[in-house]
Amino acid sequence: MKTIIAVAIPRKLSGEIVRLRPVRFSDRRFICAMFRDAAVVGASGRYLPPGCSWLSLWWWMRKTFSPAWCIEHDAGPVGLIGVYNLCLGESAEMTLVIAEKRDSRQGYGTAAFRLVASAFSSCHAVDRIFVRTRTDNDAAVSFWKKLGFAEEAQSRGARVLSLEMENFAPEGRSPVL
């Protein structure tokens, strides 16, 4: 007999610094601009194929990320956090992108990750979270390691890092190592 796991992952999450809400069709211009930016593409390893339309990107987003949240700060969207390859009770992969360089290093990415990881932790959705970054993206590796991720492997131009959820430390607590 197969066991079915039902998990309620919140659609909206709020913290002191950022709010997360589901990505909407109206975000398409923001998302297209973000994935056409060479700096974002270089950081995330995700890219928008040449000649790709916003409709194609929207379709790709909906098929790839489940769930995906727009990261908002006071004036509007600053980034995106998405989960893919979600195997409930086991693992998930995550992508986090801050769109503008001026919004980097403001704590938005850390706050967004902590909101999603806390939601996953509270409902025991996954035991481990994986992230991938380009091998030459030392800033991203440093960011993920600061959050408690450990480097797993390198392959095909990517570094893979992971975080065991039992080691996840909600804000204000040190990671368990």
110, two tokens: 């850390």
Position 129 pLDDT exceeds 90: yes
Structural domains in the chain, CATH included, are 13-167 (3.40.630.30)
Confidence label for 169 from pLDDT (cuts 50, 70 and 90): low
- State the Cα–Cα distance between residues 177 and 48, nearest whole angstrom: 37
* Span 125-152, average pLDDT: 90
Q: Of 45-49, 59-63, 90-94, which has the strongest mean pLDDT?
A: 90-94
The answer to whether 100 touches 6, Cβ cutoff 8 Å, is: no
Is the pTM value of this prediction over 0.85? no
